Amino acid sequence: MSIDLKTIKHISKLSRISVDEKKAEKLAGDLNSIFDFIEKLNELKTDNVEPLTSVAETTLKLRSDEVKSKNLRDQVIKNSPNENEDYFVVPKVIE
């Protein structure tokens, strides 16, 4: 298997990480060597194996549907890179 530059560009778009040509080539090389190594898993037959989604073999605990934290607005907004009154500010989305 080989991951080409077109695929790298596609993944970078999905990841919301911009890549230029040089970075894309480096990433293609790295990812190909990592996936060569990952391909080892194909040696195993796993048709009848249940996937393991969590090692914690417990059922989720239920709790009553009550508000426990109140008035967190200032805390939530405190680390924002750009805010105006109680809103996060982002570049214009709607023309």
Partner 1 sequence: MSDITKQSLSELVENIKSKKLSSSEVTKAFVERSEKSKELNAYITEDYTNALNKAKKFDEKPNLDLKLPGIPMAVKDLFCTRDLRTTAGSKILNNFVPTYESTVTQNIWNEGAILMGKLNCDEFAMGSSNETSFFGNVQNPIDKNLVPGGSSGGSSSAVAAQLTPITIGTDTGGSIRQPASFTGTVGLKPTYGSCSRYGIVAFASSLDQAGPMAQNVKDCALLQEVISTYDEKDSTSIDFKRNEYSKELTKDIKGKKIGIPKEYRVDGMPKEIEDLWKKGIEYAKDCGAEIIDISLPHTNYALPTYYIVAPAEASSNLARYDGVKYGFRAEGENLIDMYEKTRSEGFGAEVQRRIMIGTYVLSSGYYDAYYLKAQKVRKLIKNDFDDAYKKVDAILTPSTPSSAFKIGEKTNDPVSMYLNDIFTVPVNLAGLPGISIPAGHDGKGYPLGLQIIGKAFDEQNILNIAYAMEEKINFKNNINDWWIK
State the residues that interact with partner 1 by CB under 8 A. Answer: 3, 7-8, 10-12, 14-19, 27, 30-31, 33-34, 37-44, 46, 49-56, 58, 60-61, 63, 72, 75-76, 78-82, 88, 90-93
What are the two backbone dihedrals, phi and then psi, of residue 56, each rounded to the nearest 5 degrees? -80, 100
Residue 33, CA distances (Å) to 19, 39, 42, 48 in order: 19, 10, 16, 29
Provide the token pair at 71. 């008035």
d(CA 80, CA 83): 6
- Residue number, 25 or 39, with CB nearest to partner 1: 39
- Residue number, 49 or 67, with CB nearest to partner 1: 49
Instruction: Compute the least distance from the CB of residue 21 to partner 1, in Å.
Output: 14
- Residue number, 14 or 67, with CB nearest to partner 1: 14
Instruction: Compute the least distance from the CB of residue 30 to partner 1, in Å.
Output: 6
Residues 6+ apart with CB under 8 A from 54: none
